Amino acid sequence: MIGIENLTVGAGTRTLVDGVSLRVERGRWCTIIGANGAGKTTLVRTVAGFITPDLGRVTLDDRDVGSLSERERSRLVAYVPQHPEIPTGMRVLDYVALGRVPYHGVMRAPSARDRRLTTEVAERVGLSSFLSRDAASLSGGERQRMVLARALCQSTPVVVLDEPTTGLDVRHQMTLLELLHREVVECGLTVLATLHDLTLAGQFADRLVLVHHGRVLMDGPSHEVVRSPVLEDAYDIGVTVVNVDGVDVVVPRRGASGAFREPR
């Protein structure tokens, strides 16, 4: 469970996250949406413990993130960055196995249990056939699945993902999000993610949080947020939502947008 209370984060004179409060229950998927520079990444990186907030606090399973050691935190929250660094020459299996470091530490070798969990997760995520390949040689989609596998290997109750589908084709975007969805449903994983694709965001998250200039503009069930008029304000464009077979498809409209103006 993630608790965010009155969170404020600044950089220099700018306020990036401004008094945000959120609560994500166990086994739920919450996606943060908003324009570039709205504060999404800062928000999720603060939840992951990389940024110390100026005000407010983040709790994971009711424990204050700021008071946890790195090792304790790594057993509570796993993080998938937007652009993961993939070392050349490392085997896929070894990369995924890094997810067990929070348990065996850097002084000891992985235990038999660590190794078993690693192969189990790799199998679940569909990596079995290229475990001995060079991690850097994978395609974008395979690579992102490998990074997800590493995060799942951490066996944390919470996974935080920053734009995990960046650079992936539609099929690989769907595959990745479906895998994550299965973990939420079957294992009770709590997910906090940022996504740019509003149609995908609406389909996978239980709840969407729309942020604008570091503040929460709207927070609610996915279908309500994507159909809200404030979406147009947040992105400063015209948006039409079409329901196709029960799926809300968010279509940006040409001509009805402020995209040609200086962004507000």
Measured CA to CA, the distance from residue 163 to residue 194 in angstroms comes to 5
Q: How far is the CB of 90 from other proteins (least distance, A)?
A: 5
Token pair listed for 200? 């995908």
Q: Tell whether residue 61 is a contact of other proteins (CB under 8 A).
A: no
Minimum distance of other proteins from residue 84's CB (angstroms): 7
Show contacts with other proteins in window 69-88 (CB under 8 A): 70-71, 73-75, 77-79, 81, 84-88
Instruction: Determine how many CB atoms are found less than 10 A away from the CB of residue 180.
Output: 23
Cα dihedral 63→64→66→69 (10° resolution): -10
Q: Is 49 in the site for other proteins (CB under 8 A)?
A: yes
166 binds other proteins (CB under 8 A): no
Task: Round to whole Å and give the CA distance between 172 and 176.
Answer: 6
Q: Which residues pair with 207 in a beta bridge?
A: 30, 221
Phi, psi values for residue 158, rounded to 5°: -125, 135
For other proteins, the closer CB: 1 or 90:
90
**23 lines the binding site for other proteins (CB under 8 A):** no
Q: Which are the contacts of 150, defined by CB distance < 8 A and separation ≥ 6?
A: 78, 95, 96, 98, 99
Q: Exposed (0-12), middle (13-18) or buried (19+): which is 50, by Cβ within 10 Å? A: middle
Closer CB to other proteins, residue 39 or residue 102?
Answer: 102
Which CB sits closer to other proteins, 153 or 231?
153
Q: Which one of 7, 60, 65, 95 is in contact with other proteins (CB under 8 A)?
A: 95
Over the window 127 to 146, marking each residue x when it contacts other proteins by CB under 8 A and - when it does not, the resulting string is: -----xxx--x---------
Contact flag: residue 102 with other proteins (CB under 8 A) = yes
In the complex, the residues that contact other proteins under the rule CB under 8 A are 48-50, 70-71, 73-75, 77-79, 81, 84-91, 94-95, 98-99, 101-102, 105-107, 132-134, 137, 154
